[in-house]
Structure 1
C-alpha cells in the first residue's frame, strides 16, 4: 500500500510515517517510480509504534521494544526490553523527585516573599 493509504488507515500523518521509515521502525519497498510501498502488516506496526510513543517512550526505545512484541502485541520475552522499560521508570522517578525538591524550594521562597509583604 502507498503511504497515503497507510496514513488514512492509521490516522498518522504521512510526515510521521516517513520519519518512522527513516528511523528504521517501518520497512517499505520502493516501486519503480520511487514511491514507498508498505506491506499490510505496517498498519498494526504503526499502531504499536503509536502506543509505545503514547506512554512516553522515544523512537530509540520504540525501536528496541518493537521486535519483542508478539503478533498479538504482547511482550515476547525480551529481557533487555524489560530492563529498558524499568530504566525508563527509574529515570521518571528521579525526575519526579528532582521536581519535588524544586517545587518545595520554590514554595519556601514564595512563602518568604509573602511573609515579607505582610504589614507589621
Structure 2
C-alpha cells in the first residue's frame, strides 16, 4: 500500500483542504478528502479522482473528514460514475454532505467501510 498526499490551503482564514490517495495492491483504492470541497478545490479533487479511477478496480471516496461540499464537486462525483462505471463508491459523508449527494441521486453509492 502506498499513500500520497496533496495539500492545498487556499487562504490562511479558510479551512485546509487535503487529499490523500491510498493505493492498494488489490486495486481497491481510496481517495480520502479533508476540509471543505468548494469551488476553489473542485479542479484538484476531480483531477485526483480521475487519475485514481484510471488505475483502480474500485475507488472509495472517503468523505468522513469533509465538512462542506460544493454542488459542483458533488456533481463531479456523480459524473465520475458515468466516466468510470462500477468503480466509484462513497464512504462516511457528514449529514450535510450526504444530503447534497442524495439530492443528486448518489445515495446508492454509499458503503459502510472504506475500500470495501
Instruction: Specify if TM > 0.5.
Output: no
TM bracket (short chain) = under 0.3
Task: Tell me the TM-score normalised to structure 1 length.
Answer: 0.24
Identify, as 1 or 2, the structure richer in helix.
1
Identify, as 1 or 2, the structure richer in strand.
2
Task: Tell me the TM-score normalised to structure 2 length.
Answer: 0.24
